[in-house]
A and B are shown apart, each in its own frame.
Chain A
């Protein structure tokens, strides 16, 4: 029959249409909200979803996975007295590995000796040039620079971020990437324990290495 293919296709569209509202009705009877709730958004972006797919941005936002990456930020630990312990040592690896070369670091120097101090005086990221590749966070040996989740940075001017804008507390980092944070903390603790054990061992047997 001529036109059978078209009817077949129309059946597909009709089923899709039906599914969209059917799921709404099912959720309604289950007493769950399908819109404007994290649960609903998660369902609508899972492989079980049927029918319509849309997430109504900006009222609703897609749930970001932990690894989602956007413009980097610098991590600092909050000191008990309210000060900031910046983890960056201005080693410059992030600036060297940055593909579009958008990271600018001024290393601190000790005013008396002139020797470099492991702390940046200034740290700039030209967020307009940043390509969000995540290399800086990946290769930072001190876990001092991390990729952010905040993607709403549209502005009327150029986005050049300085230290003030870049520094975010480690609690924020923990909140956006709990698994990564836990893994890094565990690594750090293990390293410290190993160091302490080594130091204890060296203190217990100070003569042994000299003899060998």
Chain B
């Protein structure tokens, strides 16, 4: 276990006098770094202080104070509390902040996201294109003065709904032309998309030596967005040299709905069902991450029984997520559907439990601040016990009997490199992929939340970091999750299920919070800034899938295109979370 040290043990101010100042706002943590020295300070944070994993890069628009802020959350892969450092710049275009991509390559996509949504230019970023919106889009949609089409009011609840809620369709009063911004002199008839040229231009920087001296052409292949193996609408633009991948750029955003902006319009409670829609396989985990972030802000305790219920639900969703992962991986590899359907059977039973306790199979919306919405009834508890003690264990064994020794599978998976530990940490990869590379970094142990510190379980690791390990670690984690579940089901105390009174609007004091959990796909974190009003000022999701695909080009370059599908499957991405 790591020592429960506070962030103050890291004295950046003494190390960089005049450059770094401590944060003074109440309920804000960390340090403010001078913009020009950011790279230098970040290098020291990584090399001298040992914060080697940069998990989140978040832009915040402080419109009333007329400044922009970029918040960095760095952690140690050996565990323990993190370090928050931030840069503040005046909110006058061009807003420029030095890019940290040289120090933490994992900042790549997140910086592009901040540029796209908030218009913060990261100087020194080699490929600063929009990522979620398309190239040529006018405006930066997360800025506080940006308004969406069908804009009605700044914050929910809208006044038109009650007491004089005469129904109208949004498009009646708000025709499509309103609130849409175009560049000056924009003519849709003459518009030529410039994004593709930029995308392929960025691919052109990958060069390989032509050893034979023969002039060979490269071929650019677009995998997706409509491709059965890309787990949704994911597109990868690949440059191929023969069959070998020499360049890769992920193109995402097809499912983008500006979740962060919706979250800032919503009240705190209203965000809860929206988090279900992020990683729709694990809505319970998403709920948990968000609830933890808000509870940190509100500084409230969670009811004892509710903590156990949360753990049970989170681990059940991990079990079904990993089962589906195994099934879908086999799908990607060409073992069409038998393994996937075997996995879906167990998932079906787990979803039945979710439905019984929460009312919905996938969009559970089960957690509330301070607890959960309703108790697990004895009948449902019995079902959970039946599953945990009798069925899932046996079915996991069966899955292993079915697949793990299969010669075809082994020859396909074994020895195909996914990622090594050093690269994984550099590129902020978290979750099973990181652990399969040999880094025992699991937030349930490294930065314990909820009541995970009371359970006896191992952090699974594998040593080789190849595809076989990535497959096996999921099976290992199912077994560990079942271990946790067995203990939780036995130890769960009686008592109230919520420490708070039910309230449809919660009081949240001003401040910031970064709530993170080990979701089945990696670190899922919510960064919240509150100004004391009923709606969050900044609501940022740090999804595991999105940050994990930063590493995709490192994983794929040099491998054969046939392995790309499996490598992408290894990251276990979900587009609902990736595109938000």
Which residues of A pack against B, CB within 8 Å? 2-6, 8-9, 11-13, 16, 45-48, 53, 64-65, 67-69, 90, 92-93, 95-99, 101, 103-107, 116, 122, 124, 126, 131-135, 138-139, 147, 158, 160
Contact = CB atoms under 8 A, between A and B. Distances in A.
B163 A5 contact: no
B154 to A, nearest CB: 13
A53 B270 contact: no
15 contacts: A5-B409, A8-B402, A9-B402, A9-B403, A45-B352, A67-B357, A67-B358, A92-B161, A97-B267, A98-B161, A116-B163, A131-B363, A133-B272, A135-B273, A138-B373
Given A47-B386, A53-B348, A97-B269, A68 B359 contact: yes
A160 to B, nearest CB: 7
Given A8-B405, A65-B355, A96-B157, A107 B162 contact: yes
Nearest to A10: B402
Interface of B: 156-158, 160-167, 169, 266-267, 269-274, 338, 342, 345, 348-349, 352, 355-360, 363, 365, 373-374, 383, 386-387, 390-391, 398, 401-410, 502, 504-505
Contacts of A133: 272-273, 363, 365
A104 B358 CA distance: 26
A67 B164 contact: no
Nearest to B164: A106
A3 B407 contact: yes
Nearest to B156: A101
A75 B157 CA distance: 24
A71 B142 CA distance: 31
B511 to A, nearest CB: 24
A2 B407 contact: yes
Contacts of A6: 406-408
A132 B362 CA distance: 11
Nearest to A137: B359
Interface centre among B164, B357, B383, by most A CB within 10 Å?
B164
Nearest to A93: B504
A9 B330 CA distance: 13
A104 B407 contact: no
Contacts of B403: 9
Contacts of A96: 157, 161-162, 504-505
Contacts of A45: 348-349, 352
Contacts of A16: 342
Contact of B163 (A3, A105, A158): A105
Nearest to B161: A95
Contacts of A48: 386
B359 A69 contact: yes
B374 A99 contact: no
A91 to B, nearest CB: 9
A76 B162 CA distance: 21
Contact of A122 (B165, B401, B410): B165
Given A45-B348, A67-B356, A67-B374, A107 B164 contact: yes
A122 B166 contact: yes
B360 A68 contact: yes
Contacts of B390: 47
Nearest to A16: B342
Contact of A47 (B270, B349, B363, B374): B349
